[in-house]
Amino acid sequence: MNFTNSVVGKKWMAIAGLAWFSYIIFHMVSLLIFHQGEQSFNSFYQQLNQHSLYQIMVVFLVMLFSLHVVTAVVRQIANNKSKGRGYKKSYPHEIPRVAAWSGASILFIFIIVHVVQLKLFVNDHWYQITVELLSQPLMLAFYLLGVLTLSVHLHHGLSNVLQTLGITQRSYHYLAISISLILFVGFLSILASVVL
């Protein structure tokens, strides 16, 4: 049996997603230091990037990200090859297949570009780099789209995790929406503070 399409593969995909979800919360909260000014923001990210535990975490996150993406793609290919409508898992009516995979592709590109930009611009002036980057209209639009697709993907992932755990009450569905919205507003506040 193919690992990525097995029960174990699906569990690892969920674990990878939850690990990234935890990191995204940390990343959003740490970015809010931006509102405290240049000195606080630079100081925090200088210390963070010099910490060996953070470097290990980044490597671990890259491995989990790769596993998550590969598992998702392999599962979709296997689903597409399934014969007969009875064996195919269809998308919910409110999420067309094109929209789902377009959003995932945009998010994938966004994460790769974001990581590459951070690695290219590594220095002690994190605040100034952020301001210069988001002052460019094209980059601002790109980051806005990235944050939006991230929030939608998180809602999708959280909803799936809740459903897997057998939690299908509407109140928990609203909780998934609320968490995604809070993260979206948190990231958006950084973009807005540069523009306004």
CA atoms of 187 and 47, how far apart (whole Å): 21
Those residues whose C-beta lies under 8 Å from the C-beta of residue 178, and which sit 6 or more positions away, are: none
Question: Of 69, 70, 61, 67, whose CA–CA distance to 27 is shortest?
Answer: 61
117-134 mean pLDDT: 84
pLDDT > 90 in the chain, percent: 32
Rg (CA), the chain: 18
Residue listed under structure tokens 């952020």: 130
* Amino acid at the residue 97: R
pLDDT band at 99 (very low <50, low <70, confident <90, very high): low
pLDDT tens-digit readout, 142-188: 999 999 999 988 888 787 777 766 666 677 778 888 999 999 999 99
pLDDT at residue 115, as a whole number: 85
* Amino acid at the residue 4: T
> 150 or 75: which carries more pLDDT confidence?
150
84 Rama class: left (phi>0) / alpha (psi -120 to 50) / beta: left
Domain residue ranges of the chain, discontinuous segments joined by +: 3-195
pLDDT > 70 in the chain, percent: 78
CA atoms of 143 and 104, how far apart (whole Å): 15
CA atoms of 128 and 75, how far apart (whole Å): 42
pLDDT at residue 1, as a whole number: 47
What's the count of helices (H) and strands (E) in the chain, helices before strands? 7, 0
Q: For residue 93, what is the DSSP state?
A: T
Residue 11 CA neighbour count, 13 Å, CB half:
4
37-52 mean pLDDT: 90
Residue listed under structure tokens 């671990």: 60
Residue 51 main-chain phi, psi, to 5 deg: -80, 125
pLDDT band at 8 (very low <50, low <70, confident <90, very high): low
> 78 or 138: which carries more pLDDT confidence?
138
